[in-house]
Every structure is written in C-alpha cells, then in structure tokens.
Amino acid sequence: MKHISLKYLLVAGAVIFLVACTKDFKEINTNPRIVTEDIADPALLLTHVQKNSMFGMANNDTRLEAYSGYIGNNTIASAFTKGPWGSPFSTFYTSYLINLNESIRLSSRDEKLANLTSFGRIWRAWLYSRLTDLYGDIPYTEAAKSVTEVNIAPAYDTQEFVYTDMLKELKEAVAVLKQSDGTRLNIGNKDLIYNGDVEKWIRLGNSLRLRLAMRISYVAPSVASTHINELISELLIVQNSQNAILVAGAASEAADANRSPVYNGISGGAKEFRWASFTMAETLTKLNDPRASKFIDLTSLGDYFGIMLNLSPDEKMVDLGRPSSSLSALSDLFWRSDFRFTVINASEVAFLRAEAALRGITGEDAQALYRTGISLSMDNFGVNAADRDDYLAGSAGTLSGTEEQQYESLIVQKWLANYLQFEEGYTEFRRTGYPRIWTGSALGDTQGEIPRRVQYPQSEYNSNAKSISEAIKRLSNGDAFTSKLWWDVRPGLPVHHPKQGIFPPF
C-alpha cells in the first residue's frame, strides 16, 4: 500500500498515449505529434493505468453502488430500468487497456523489465475480470492490443474463454516473477500499489487467481478445484500489510487530480444523495457489528437506517413513522480525500479459502479461516481489539446451522469485509445470492429483481455491429438485465429477503 506520488503522475501524464474515444484509434497510427515508443517509459504507463483505473471505478454508475447493497441513492428514479452503460466499457478499452498493453509490449522487449511485464499482465487480468463480470462476453483477444495494432471492430470472446485465459495469464505472470533476480529493474515508486515489491505482486497474482477460480466454481468445478488446490500452498495475501491498495492524495495535496474523485465531488453536491443502504444498516444492526460506526453514521433517532432500493411510487408515499431525514449518512471513510482504493485484501482471501473448505473443495479448516477473515477485516477498518474479540466470541464469530446457513454467514462477512468495493460486491451477490437485499415493488425491466448483468453501450452497436450481434445471440435473453453470465449458475437464485413483498420491511 502506498500513497500516490504526485511527481510520477505528472510525468506519466506527459508521456501516456491518450486515447479519448474509438474515433481516435486511427489518429494514434498517423499523428506525428503523439509520443513515440523511443521516449515512452513503460513503467509510467503502468503508473497512469493504476491510478486512473482505480479512480475511474469509484466514479462508475451509481446504480452499481445500489446493486452491491452497500449504498442507497435517492436520485435513482427506477433502479432496474435499462439505460446507457457506456462506462466502464469504453473507458477500459480506450484508456486503461490500450495504455497497459503498450506498457506490456514495450517492457517485454527487455529481459531487465520482465517484472514490469508481469505486473502489467496481472493488472490486465484484474481489469478484464471487472469488465467481463459486468457484461459477459467481451472483446478480448483482438481488443486494444497496442497503439500500433488497432482493431476498431474486435470480435467478442466468450466469458468462458476470457476466464480460462485470465487464469492462465495470472499463473504465467507469477511464474515469471518467481524467477526474478538482481538483474531485473526495480521500478520503485512508479508502481503505485507495491513500490515494485516482487513478493507482494506474487501474492496479488495468486490471490486474484483464487478469486477468479472461486467465481467459476459452480460452472466449472473441476477447473476451479485444480486452481484452488494449487493456490492454497502458494504465497497469498494473508496480512493487511499485503493488501493491494492505492491511497489517494491528502486534502492538502496541491493537485486535485490526486485526491479521491468522490472527495472532489462533494462540492458538486455528491454528499446530498448518497446514504447507507437499507441492507447495510439492517445487517450491521442485526449483527451488532462494531464496524457499523466505521461504515455509516447514526441517524437523528440514534439508530442505523438506510435507503430502500427500487421503491414504487406508492411505496415512496407511505409514512414510515420516522422523519424523512433520519437516514444514516456514509462515514468519513467514504468521503475522505485519501480514500483507500482496494483491488483485493487479506480478509477476502481468508473468506475465499473458507468457502472452498466449507464446500469440500479443499481440506482446510473453514471455521478457522472464517474467524481469521473477520479478524483481518476488523483490524483493516480500525476496530479496537477488545470489540473485535467480543464479536468473535459471540454468535457471529462462529459458523453454525445448516450448510446453507453457514454459507450465508460466510458470504455476508465477506461482503462486509469488501465494503465499498461496489463491483465485487455486486458480482458476488449474483454468484452466491447473498446478502439478501430487500427490494421494493417497482418492476422496471427485471420484474423487480436486481439485474444479473449490465447492457452493452450504444457505441458498440454503432461501430461494431457484427461482433456485438454475435455476442448477443449467446445471451439467454439477449442484451438485457435478465441474461445470466456464464458463471451465474448456482441453483435457487435469487435468494429473497425474508420480508420481500412486505412494505415497510421493518
């Protein structure tokens, strides 16, 4: 974990290949003013992509915040009604991936830069996992290869193929890093995540592979099991000091661009419409969780209460018996300028291993790993040791009940540990069914269910019609919120809140 280096971000901004939109691809190949590879620093290209991809995800559509169950938003008219989803799709390809692939292409020419190449491959796998987990099939093998090899109408690869290749990429990148010796260049603080620490990058690559293997464990159990059982004996992120985190700039930072974009948005009124979700407030209250005060604020009534998702017009008119202003605001954890942007943390890794053990994929101790995950999360969010130990000594600190009840407890704890990781929370909700997110009776385009995916942007229909039409044919319900992704096959989903269909649900 390290703070953003203003020096290197300013330099990176001067040398990156800035690609604003698809129409600029041709210009990259012909414009003599664009920075050429003889002066481009591939390490600074990685710097640029690390910062902008993590900041950019914080500014994605606020519907993802709601779908994850973390945040309530009182400006969403109909949360489950289809609309444009141009971002993150276009930004990933025309900014993050094109620059990252250029970094990989340039660094792969020099054995001394082999570590940098592997860092880029690991980061690329993470970026592609974010994309495919939102949309499904995506441009992959033909997409954003480099600024010298541009295809403005790339084919869409199946999600199964993308996952197979991401797992291979992560394994191969880690294998290269394991061979690192003193002859390879250390890029130091041009790496905004680990300062060039090879061992931590090995842990990150392995931990991401564990996440992706677990993601496909219901649809491809044999493949997932092979990866998972390989990984439990490898280096993983097991301490909070190893978390893959980028810390934004302090409020005193001279450059606005280095502060959290959410912090910068406060002056634009962003703080007026984001609140705790009903699910988050309800879960923290039921569990008597000491992380509650770290995540959200008490209401004027002295309790925790959040915004309910997808209310119908009639439900919005119901008197809830409490002041309309009595909502839990998000704590300063969310609004601070030096927000911690997370790729993956130690508590998630512990919970992934606990799930694998609980489901019989490995022979590890699910109970011990579950408790380790809770402890790591408490420490990560600054809960004092006494409160942490009291919580672990209570009912929430032990897996109990049926296997499904234990599974739900485990996934809910992982969801809490990944607080404010919106895409990961939304993705795991779809894979597992938990937490149980209560939704109102507005039907939208999903018959009242949280969408199973997001829709491709209109720009793809305009510029890549043939490829996208082939991808859409492979979706169960076409390019719709209700089409399930390849890995979304767990039986019995969605799992409904016990008070689903009852209003108010408290």
Comparing 472 with 11, the larger pLDDT belongs to 472
* Residue 397, both tokens: 């600190």
> Would you say 342 and 318 are in contact if contact means Cβ atoms under 8 Å apart?
no
Cβ burial of 282 (10 Å; 0-12, 13-18, 19+) is buried
Question: Which fold, 1-68+86-265+455-506?
Answer: 1.25.40
User: What pLDDT score was predicted for residue 33?
Assistant: 37
Tell me, what's the pLDDT at 177? 99
Predicted confidence (pLDDT) per residue in 27-44, tens digit = 333 333 344 555 689 999
Q: Is the pLDDT of residue 468 over 50?
A: yes
Looking at residue 299, its pLDDT comes to 96
Cis peptide before 457 (omega within 30 of 0): no
318-369: pLDDT as tens digits:
999 998 779 999 999 999 999 999 999 999 999 999 999 999 999 999 999 9
Percentage of the chain exceeding pLDDT 70: 89
Please report the pLDDT score of residue 6 as a whole number: 42
Nearest-angstrom CA–CA distance, 142 and 436: 39
What pLDDT is recorded for position 270? 63
pLDDT in the model for residue 195? 98
Interatomic CA distance for residues 163 and 169, integer angstroms = 10
Question: Residue ranges of the domains in the chain?
Answer: 1-68+86-265+455-506, 346-417
Give the contacts of 266 (CB within 8 A, at least 6 positions apart).
Answer: 335
Which one is predicted more confidently, 493 or 76? 493
283-292 pLDDT, tens digit per residue, is 999 999 999 9
Q: What digits encode the pLDDT tens for the residues 229-242?
A: 999 999 999 999 99
pLDDT of residue 128: 99
Q: How many Å apart are CA 115 and CA 178, to the nearest integer?
A: 9
CB-based burial, 138-149: b 16+ in 10 Å, e otherwise: bbbeebbbbbee
pLDDT of residue 29: 34
Q: Is 428 helix (H, G, I), strand (E, B) or coil?
A: helix
CATH superfamily, with its number, for domain 346-417: SusD-like, tetratrico peptide repeats domain (1.20.120.840)
